[in-house]
Each structure stands twice: as structure tokens, then as C-alpha cells.
Amino acid sequence: MTRVATLLLLASLVAALAACGERPQVVNYKQGTYQGKRDTPPYQNPPFNGDKAAWERALATRAQAQNEYKRTH
């Protein structure tokens, strides 16, 4: 009985150690390539939800609002 308990204790200790996996604490630099987090395209999230064409239309409309000759003449 004592032997089984000891084996169980050892097994649980080994299992507990498995949680202490070694993660890299520093960035592994690759010269000349971006090392940071990935970014999502600006049309990926609300309000456009992936509709790239709608996003481009919205920006085109905004851009033309900068042309006052088109607006006043």
C-alpha cells in the first residue's frame, strides 16, 4: 500500500513538473524580418467585418472630400 502511494506521489510530481515547460524568454531575432506581433488588415474587424470593397469605398469617399474644387465648382 505504501509502495503504491509512493509511486502515485512520484508520478504526480513528475506530472506537476511537466507544467513547468521552458518557454523562450527572449526573441529569436532573424535579421531583416519583422519580429513583432502579426497585425490584421484594417477592414477585418467591425464595422467592415472583412468587406474590403466597402472599406475602400469609404476611404475613397473621404479622400474626395478633400478636393474642394470638386465640391464647389
Q: Could you say which of 5, 17, 27, 53 contacts another protein (CB under 8 A)? A: 27
Stretch touching another protein by CB under 8 A, among 4-12, 14-22, 24-32:
24-32
Contact 40, 50 (CB under 8 A): no
User: Shortest gap between Cβ of 21 and another protein (angstroms)?
Assistant: 22
Closest CA to 40 of 31, 32, 49: 49
Binding footprint of another protein, residue count (CB under 8 A): 35
Q: Which residue in this structure is represented by grid cell 474626395?
A: 64
Shortest approach of another protein to residue 53 CB, angstroms? 11
